[in-house]
Structure 1
């Protein structure tokens, strides 16, 4: 239940090949080799022990490993709470960490001698559904942590005095998307580096002085990127390279002077400083996603794309002859088409940048594929791959669908409320729909169109009939920025995030619900008797340390 966001990207800076600096590290070696995922490392002051989270079979465990002999110990809670992430005190004798379940959220400290773990001490209770991050400051009696008000609400950063138990909300960037959950402590000063998106969905990098509570913006990037950290000197910002990332990059505090500090053959995410003053640790794994198709009558499952790279966002064309999808086969995200009759696959775009799409939709005449990025809408010609950017301010966009062959519908925030807008392809203009509606999912068959009102009531069909389906319809209508709930006549489909993740079907005529397919990825499409869904390879990732050449 703790989403490990794997977010990467940088603004391109061009120079001649012979001017490009050589990486200071060219090799990496594994620090962990366990089954599952190992994430969020923290190193003790003596450099001997590493705390990290191990994620396996829906269970999160905080581990402590001796890097000299390879032995490890687990921080257990008798009540079965999931544990992690955690952070070492500057003296190296304590860990502060999160322990949580769907019903509880708590922060603890625990004394550790070698691999002998003491009794946990509760220091703070946070709202259930708040799965945050916590760090010791350079004063071991103070910690900084993030929490929200519950599922779906943005995170804020707080400081807690362990002696007085006083808590204060720190000065921080305005809250957008998931808020302020990503921060790093300066290696020598009580100063945070905060990574936070703005209204335009640009990633901003800020410094916060914990003594004066003064917040300063360093720089922003219009890129698919996240989670900057300080370098070892605290004079530069370390980020991952272009999507998909195979490099660690250093920027000065103005976002300039880009330097490659590590380049390798493994995909990189979530870098941390190693404790030798030179190297870095990153997460890398072998997981990839494939596209499968399920015959809803026979139950037969077939493969559409099952290469050793990510293939995502599979969507049926309106005429049901072609599937559009994203593939990383060329090294960057490209839009591909799969012909259902012949099985032929063809790449239709030739992007050279590092754009990242969150959703795809075909126009009713199959002329266009609409592509949603973090802050833009693109119209992609389904034959030539030519792209037109919708003229709309950069912002968070959700719920994309075609109202007609020449009208593209989407929702964006107007103040604090969501509102539906229509882009007219013939005039390249945008008009606002009635404020009565927060989201409208248009379909070629208007009986299957879904309407969500501003008061969170769901309706269907052109006649706007109130929907009567299980659960809270407004809560399952969207999965992030994608449509999650679909209607086909008397059948309703949605992705259930609980457990391993399942695509479900509700029969309105008899009230029954059935599970159709397991999927670790929420995106799916259904048309006629066919269901497209994403299958993930078994997730396994480990922590790697760069090896400096110096």
Structure 2
């Protein structure tokens, strides 16, 4: 078959679960039966082409062939994996428990590893320590919450182990230092806990501890918007500074790592085009060195033990840890695994190996509010996200990694049919989507571009393999954080630059429209009454009713006198939508996300619904479909070189 263990095209091994197909499977064209769709309103339902349809019942007769293929592929894969491991080195699992283990940090004795363990359905991580040689595990009972382990230290023999960690829960963001008993003791105890840094009201993206400077380096959003910047908090003086760094662009500086010798700061910065640039900042001379630029987003990169080379993740679907110099030259694969790598890689104390984690976060689309028989949508749990409902039928578009990387699919509530809409060869980052009121077109943001895609073209016999420039209506120099229709035939696009969200309205030909005087952040259209248009002001977050489309024929700018202020949204809201003259938006409170609904007519009551590790949602005629986490698995490994 020519399949590769580390870059599978057909069958992928999922540890602790089994195998899964990562290629598209469909029945022969002639064996797909007809099916009907139900229409609730006057607009017609878009028919699903029969040749691309797939019902679960018609896959059953292929199960025998698939099982045989899995067995043969598994044997074949094992042989390849053995050869690959011999050439790259291999990894050894440290944890294999149900749930997820993450944030590993090695003790200076190079024997004990501290990590966090979270069982399925729990939001409360447990601190644990494992002996990597004997696999014995002990629990460490901290009195408060712990989100990330930053550093494990032991200065002198006989002194307690020092644990520096981040807590981002229960309305707080703080960095603590805990004195722990030695890891080999049977009863683990916490001798003291000291708060080092209060990061409340900051959206921390990454954090590291500089032992020589006794300082906390971290990346965060200024004013809670992109781009991220690097900050340093001096623990002795209790002062925060902005260290020398390249000017952040796009999404900004999202990840950092301090070199083992303490002299250089590694910065990972991703622009609006989702290309990641590496920088090295000499902390003594303030000299900035520009390193490798990747034609993809890189979530994780750390210094090598020698403080000159780097480790980083390869692009999916090949899950490898690579080593190169700062400029991306002389690259070699250190290790490869069959699960996604999480962004918590760390050096071991032996000067040559690393600890790393895997993570499989599976999202599913489900009803949050719907008709009684619509309590769940049974589909794949391989990261199904961003559901967008049709307004006149029981269909919805969503994005999923079920084929190995992100594609678009068409689903049906009742029949559970799933149709492949795209087979992109390139690896796109699918952002925001919005369905037109007549269900005939989809607005889609991909990287820094917005496309207007007719549904008829998406439903042609062959899935879309790439975007056509004729559908491109907007290109941004800055990250796109919101997308909606603005009336029936315009798009409302929000970009963010230096912490300020800015609204742009364009027609479907790509021509920008002039807005009423003022500084506007977001534009919204009522999905039930698409002639009702709203805009949200910068800073104050005031929601204004701008009028009906037929009242705006002379241009948006002329409507300034008709603006009507309705309410002010909370300071840190996001994902706002309007449906049936009800405003919906998301907030985060005590590390939990909530979906709020607020009637704009004064009738009805305000509601607040909790979400679980939310990805996205959509609402039509009061029914709410949400994509949130179904389960989360992951383990901790060490390389063996």
| TM-score normalized by the length of structure 1 | 0.80
What is aligned with 2:503?
A: 420
What is aligned with 1:74?
A: 140
Q: Displacement, 1:75?
A: 5.5
What is aligned with 1:65?
A: 130
The correspondence of residues 30-41 of structure 1 with structure 2, limited to 5 A, is 30-34=93-97, 36-41=99-104
Q: Distance in 2 between matches of 1:496 and 1:413?
A: 19
Q: Displacement, 1:516?
A: 5.7
Q: Is the 8 A contact 1:235 1:253 kept in 2?
A: yes
Does 2:524 match 1:441? Answer: yes
Q: Distance in 1 between matches of 2:172 and 2:609?
A: 31
What is aligned with 2:165?
A: 97
Q: Displacement, 1:309?
A: 1.1
What is aligned with 2:552?
A: none
Could you say if the C-alpha distance between residues 488 and 259 of structure 1 is closer, same or farther in structure 2, counting changes exceeding 3 Å? farther
What is aligned with 1:313?
A: 386
The correspondence of residues 153-164 of structure 1 with structure 2, limited to 5 A, is 154=228, 156-158=230-232, 160=234
The correspondence of residues 277-296 of structure 1 with structure 2, limited to 5 A, is 277-293=351-367, 296=370
Could you say if the C-alpha distance between residues 231 and 430 of structure 1 is closer, same or farther in structure 2, counting changes exceeding 3 Å? farther
What's the secondary structure of 1:32's corresponding residue? coil
The correspondence of residues 41-60 of structure 1 with structure 2, limited to 5 A, is 41-55=104-118, 57-60=122-125
Could you say if the C-alpha distance between residues 341 and 117 of structure 1 is closer, same or farther in structure 2, counting changes exceeding 3 Å? closer
Q: Is the 8 A contact 2:219 2:231 kept in 1?
A: yes
Q: Distance in 1 between matches of 2:369 and 2:170?
A: 35
Does 2:582 match 1:486? Answer: no
Does 2:217 match 1:152? Answer: no
> Equivalent of 1:457, from 524, 542, 558?
542
> Equivalent of 2:408, from 321, 324, 335?
335
Does 2:299 match 1:226? Answer: yes
Could you say if the C-alpha distance between residues 26 and 446 of structure 1 is closer, same or farther in structure 2, counting changes exceeding 3 Å? same
The correspondence of residues 289-438 of structure 1 with structure 2, limited to 5 A, is 289-293=363-367, 296-298=370-372, 300-303=374-377, 305-340=378-413, 342-382=415-455, 383-384=457-458, 385=464, 387=467, 388=469, 389-403=472-486, 406-413=489-496, 417-426=500-509, 428-431=510-513, 433-434=515-516, 436=518, 437-438=520-521
> Equivalent of 1:207, from 280, 288, 298?
280
1:148-193 superposed Cα distances (whole Å, 9 cap, x missing partner): 599826553315365x777654212334577545211223452221
Q: Distance in 1 between matches of 2:436 and 2:94?
A: 48
Runs of 5+ consecutive residues of structure 2 not aligned to the other structure = 1-82, 459-463, 548-561
Q: Is the 8 A contact 1:227 1:239 kept in 2?
A: yes
Q: Distance in 2 between matches of 1:277 and 1:159?
A: 28
Q: Displacement, 1:345?
A: 1.8
Q: How many residues align?
A: 514
1:24-78 superposed Cα distances (whole Å, 9 cap, x missing partner): 546433223455433222112220122223446332444433334423242624x
Q: Distance in 2 between matches of 1:417 and 1:148?
A: 15
Q: Is the 8 A contact 2:257 2:302 kept in 1?
A: yes
Does 2:196 match 1:124? Answer: yes
| TM-score normalized by the length of structure 2 | 0.70
Runs of 5+ consecutive residues of structure 1 not aligned to the other structure = 1-20
Q: Is the 8 A contact 2:382 2:401 kept in 1?
A: yes
Q: Distance in 2 between matches of 1:58 and 1:151?
A: 27
Q: Is the 8 A contact 1:49 1:67 kept in 2?
A: yes
What is aligned with 1:11?
A: none
1:179-230 superposed Cα distances (whole Å, 9 cap, x missing partner): 5452112234522211123465542211122222322221333423223112
Q: Is the 8 A contact 2:100 2:633 kept in 1?
A: yes
Could you say if the C-alpha distance between residues 301 and 500 of structure 1 is closer, same or farther in structure 2, counting changes exceeding 3 Å? farther
Q: Is the 8 A contact 1:61 1:84 kept in 2?
A: no
